[in-house]
Structure 1
Amino acid sequence: MFSHLLQWSSYNDELADARQGVYTYRAHGSIYHRIGGLLPLNSNDRPRFLQMYIYDTEHENEHRMAENATLRVDIIDRIKNILNEHNPFVHTLRHLAQRDDIQQCKFVIKEQPPNQHNYSMPSASQVAAVVVGGDDIANLKERDVMVESVTGRLMSTKETAGYYDPLQYPLLFPYGSYGWDLNTRSLTGKKITCREFYSYMFQMRECYDSIVLRAGRLTQQFAVDNCVKMQASNLRWVALNQDTIRADLYKGLEDSYNAGEHNTENVGRRTILPSSFVGSPRDMHQRYQDAMALVHKFGKPDIFLTMTCNPSWSEIVAELLPGQQPHDRPDLLTRVFHARLEELKKDVLERNVLGKVVAYVYVIEFQKRGLPHVHMLLILDQSDKLATPDDYDKIVRAEIPDQQQEPELHKRILKHMIHGVQNPRSPCMKQGSCKKGFLSHSLIVQSKEMTHIPSIVGVKMLHLYRYVRIHE
């Protein structure tokens, strides 16, 4: 990589190890993209990041191997040759490494020209320049970055700059093509948002082999990074358009008091997050009030339904590229899950397989291992409410199916739901028992049109009905 990617992130060893589990990349808060100096601060320090292209280039591969001993030298050498031939940023850095006055030089990374189309390959003179002394410093633009030869600090780069992607992900952008910036527009001149741009990049196409979709763990990091970038873009719009959302009508003092702030000196001018910003306090409060209004009108929910994404679904397995695992394609998992969810909603809300539904609410969450799941509350019509034990027995069963009469259902129950001696290889098992404290209990829902299997339910949660839909 050319530069640092700093964030509040962590790798959870409990979710994945060398034997089982999936790689998990998590971001906590903002992600900061920073660039250091062209040369190491001390002569004894090992070159890192873009310094490898300039300092001690004869031992460049050895320096990269020092970052990770599991790397293969032959693959590193092939990648280096590709970047040396095609990447305009590398071209400028290699030219800089041959200069005798490198100590007095500065490396200027340029913003994308406003008349440059996104699909046009940039040249070395367009993406970067070498400046000696103070020459041309006055001509720097707002989002241009000037990297000094030797510096003891890191320079921050904005995520709204087009060079953000090719600098942080040279393997995904070997030609140095720019990513999204504030000036990105379509062929018709329409301004393209950050979400639209990266949605286009993650799209699957029959006649196009996308590098982004083949990068494995790097694809996961790229997706998380750009998700944070989209959120930052939304927050920036809210901060710059407080008058548009009429933030002056919000009761700032009352909100501060309710949040526990009793000192008026600490209130100041606040940036208001409207309820249209998903995940904001006002958004959550509005959703809660809407749900309570439904309960007030139609009564308490009758069914708690959960559907979890299964990475073994045929639609997912069929679209995986050679050598890929489901966790390598978070985009594919979410798309298939969304399609399955829409089909489940048709079954429950239109086909009335569990009874006529008069009101419902649901929320979509992501597990720590990256799989989405939905929690849905269903309020049934008065004529279909579950009032007696016989009504519950029609859709709920708390026993393991008979292997002779229902072999497929029996197989799935033992594979996905049972702890203990019947499934000792379950990821949650530790020293012969479930580390979460669940016992070998399960709930099954069946109907004529569809069959549902719940996730694992403990003794303390038997009042919650959690189901995962089966698809042959």
Structure 2
Amino acid sequence: MGGGVDKNINKGRGPYVFRLKGQNYHRIGTLLPQEGDKPRFQQLYIYDTENEIHNRLQVSRSGECSAPLDESIITGLVTMLNENNTLVQSFRMARDRFEGHEYHNLTLRLLGNREQYARQCNMPSASEIAALIVKDPAEGSNRRDIILEYKDMRPKRVSEVHPKFMAMQYPLLFPYGEDGFRPGIRYKENGARNGKKSITMLEYYAYRLQQRSDQSMLMLTCGNLSMQFLVDVYACIEQSRLDWIRRNQGALRTELFSGLRDAIVKGDTRTEQVGRRILLPASFRGSPRCKEQNYQDAMAICRWAGYHDLFVTFICNPKWPEIQCMLDEAGNQQKPAARPDIVVRVFMLKLKELMMDIKQRRHFGKTKANKYGKPHQITKNRLKCMYVFCL
């Protein structure tokens, strides 16, 4: 991962929090390490596999974690991945070539354009997702393909829409090397929405991150690794939205915003400092225009309805019986901090019920207007939301 992980936030006594700083992206290196360097990441599947367990122990102990590691567990995981994971089998193909000293100009291409050949029921095989080539990888390669050079190359960025984007980062969450999100996944028959024929990244992960009684919940039951995965998914969805805004600046009619007024407000009073910008619309949550629009809406309500009568703060309690009931149904003795999806869902249900009590059932009288803030996280894994009402 290219983003910086903030580890200072977990020095207190609160629940575990995974905080990512900076731009998030995934990178992949070369097939073999440089001379004198130790193998890392996918290189462990290719280079010096006779001492693979020892190399993995050294890599795991090189960080801040000082907990003892069980070699038998690592051996069992490696055996499981060798037998079932298609990505690992692709890397093993490269290892077999290198053992036969066939490594000159050899590259491994992980195919990114598989929507026309992907099966719906069967798991992909190693030959379907990767290809060993002995030519210039720039010729005839798709822009989303991942090209792993022999060596002497810098790490390359992996596209967020590559089918194996998450499977390479989290092999234990995707033990078979399953495909993740890719553009072009169709809705079911007669399932198109608003004229769209393909699902979005948000819809895909919203479907995958659901608790179902007849399906595995591996992505939600891995503790801190699941927390990292959820943050990674959210960052990918936000990046997908930003990419769409960047490509559709004309459709958003940004020429109406990028004038002299915006330049002066931003402090760019020198003409040589004013260049082409990517402007975020008010529909993008957290953008400057979104905040300004919310502020103007709040001031307009106060001007029309007068000063507010109630300032309500609604806080979530992780010991609510509804949350505990869902945790008991999920099993594995999970704590509320490990299942933010359950906490947020129960919180929003109770928040909507509170709004009905105030607005429709009129417990405090007739409501003329209301303005609310976005729910956010505070200490001890509690959520709060602030509402302002004019009665």
Structure 2 unpaired stretches of 5+? none
Say which is worse superposed, 319-328 or 222-231, in terms of deviation.
Answer: 319-328
1:102-121 matches, within 5 Å, as 103-104=103-104, 105-115=106-116, 116-117=118-119, 119-121=121-123
1:72 aligns with 2:70: yes
The one of 370, 378, 382 equivalent to 2:389 is 378
Pairwise CA distance, 1:34: 0.3
Residue 317 to residue 239, structure 1, CA distance change in 2 (3 Å): same
Pairwise CA distance, 1:12: 2.5
1:363-402 matches, within 5 Å, as 363=373, 364-367=375-378, 371-380=382-391
1:293 aligned residue: 300
> Structure 2: how far apart are the matches of 1:309 and 1:342?
13
Query: Matched residue pairs, number?
Result: 371
Pairwise CA distance, 1:208: 1.2
User: Contact 1:118–1:178 at 8 Å: present in 2 too?
Assistant: no
User: Contact 1:106–1:147 at 8 Å: present in 2 too?
Assistant: yes
Deviations 1:131-188 (A, max 9, x none): 23x1675232111111112225111111121110111111111111111122222344
Residue 72 to residue 325, structure 1, CA distance change in 2 (3 Å): farther
1:53 aligned residue: 45
> Structure 1: how far apart are the matches of 2:309 and 2:162?
50
User: Contact 1:103–1:150 at 8 Å: present in 2 too?
Assistant: no
User: Contact 1:24–1:368 at 8 Å: present in 2 too?
Assistant: no
2:363 aligned residue: 353
1:323 aligns with 2:333: yes
2:239 aligned residue: 232
1:77-92 matches, within 5 Å, as 77-92=75-90
1:432-451 matches, within 5 Å, as none
Deviations 1:391-415 (A, max 9, x none): xxxxxxxxxxxxxxxxxxxxxxxxx
2:274 aligned residue: 267
> Structure 1: how far apart are the matches of 2:131 and 2:379?
43
1:211 aligns with 2:182: no
> Structure 1: how far apart are the matches of 2:213 and 2:309?
44
1:138-177 matches, within 5 Å, as 138-177=139-178
> Structure 2: how far apart are the matches of 1:118 and 1:367?
42
> Structure 2: how far apart are the matches of 1:117 and 1:376?
48
> Structure 2: how far apart are the matches of 1:329 and 1:169?
18
1:129 aligns with 2:122: no
Pairwise CA distance, 1:219: 1.3
Counterpart residue identity of residue 128, structure 1? A
> Structure 2: how far apart are the matches of 1:249 and 1:174?
49
> Structure 2: how far apart are the matches of 1:157 and 1:119?
26
> Structure 2: how far apart are the matches of 1:124 and 1:314?
47
1:306 aligned residue: 313
User: Contact 1:16–1:24 at 8 Å: present in 2 too?
Assistant: no
Counterpart residue identity of residue 112, structure 2? E
Counterpart residue identity of residue 72, structure 2? D
TM-score by length of structure 1 reads 0.74
> Structure 2: how far apart are the matches of 1:34 and 1:233?
17
The one of 188, 192, 202 equivalent to 1:195 is 202
User: Contact 2:113–2:145 at 8 Å: present in 1 too?
Assistant: no
> Structure 1: how far apart are the matches of 2:302 and 2:257?
27
1:183 aligns with 2:210: no
1:253 aligned residue: 260
Pairwise CA distance, 1:323: 2.8
1:35 aligns with 2:28: yes
Residue 62 to residue 48, structure 1, CA distance change in 2 (3 Å): same
Pairwise CA distance, 1:303: 2.2
> Structure 2: how far apart are the matches of 1:110 and 1:227?
24
> Structure 2: how far apart are the matches of 1:120 and 1:30?
35
Counterpart residue identity of residue 387, structure 2? M
Structure 1 unpaired stretches of 5+? 381-472
> Structure 1: how far apart are the matches of 2:156 and 2:137?
19
Residue 145 to residue 370, structure 1, CA distance change in 2 (3 Å): farther
Q: Percent identity?
A: 37
Pairwise CA distance, 1:119: 4.9
Deviations 1:187-223 (A, max 9, x none): 4482110100000011121211221111211111111
Pairwise CA distance, 1:375: 1.1
Residue 221 to residue 118, structure 1, CA distance change in 2 (3 Å): farther
Say which is worse superposed, 302-311 or 338-347, in terms of deviation.
Answer: 302-311
User: Contact 2:25–2:157 at 8 Å: present in 1 too?
Assistant: yes
> Structure 2: how far apart are the matches of 1:21 and 1:46?
37
Residue 72 to residue 112, structure 1, CA distance change in 2 (3 Å): farther
Counterpart residue identity of residue 383, structure 2? P
Give 1 or 2 for the bigger CA radius of gyration.
Answer: 1
Residue 118 to residue 279, structure 1, CA distance change in 2 (3 Å): farther
2:79 alignment partner, SS class? helix
Larger relative contact order, structure 1 or 2 (CA cutoff 8 Å, min sep 6): 2
Counterpart residue identity of residue 201, structure 1? R
1:8 aligns with 2:4: yes
1:305 alignment partner, SS class? strand
2:22 alignment partner, SS class? strand
1:443-462 matches, within 5 Å, as none
Pairwise CA distance, 1:271: 2.1
1:306 alignment partner, SS class? strand
2:18 aligned residue: 25
Residue 129 to residue 192, structure 1, CA distance change in 2 (3 Å): same
> Structure 2: how far apart are the matches of 1:256 and 1:103?
55
Pairwise CA distance, 1:370: 5.2
Residue 48 to residue 254, structure 1, CA distance change in 2 (3 Å): same
> Structure 2: how far apart are the matches of 1:226 and 1:91?
25
> Structure 2: how far apart are the matches of 1:120 and 1:283?
44
> Structure 1: how far apart are the matches of 2:262 and 2:214?
54
> Structure 2: how far apart are the matches of 1:117 and 1:279?
39
1:97 aligned residue: 95
Counterpart residue identity of residue 52, structure 1? L
> Structure 2: how far apart are the matches of 1:243 and 1:237?
11
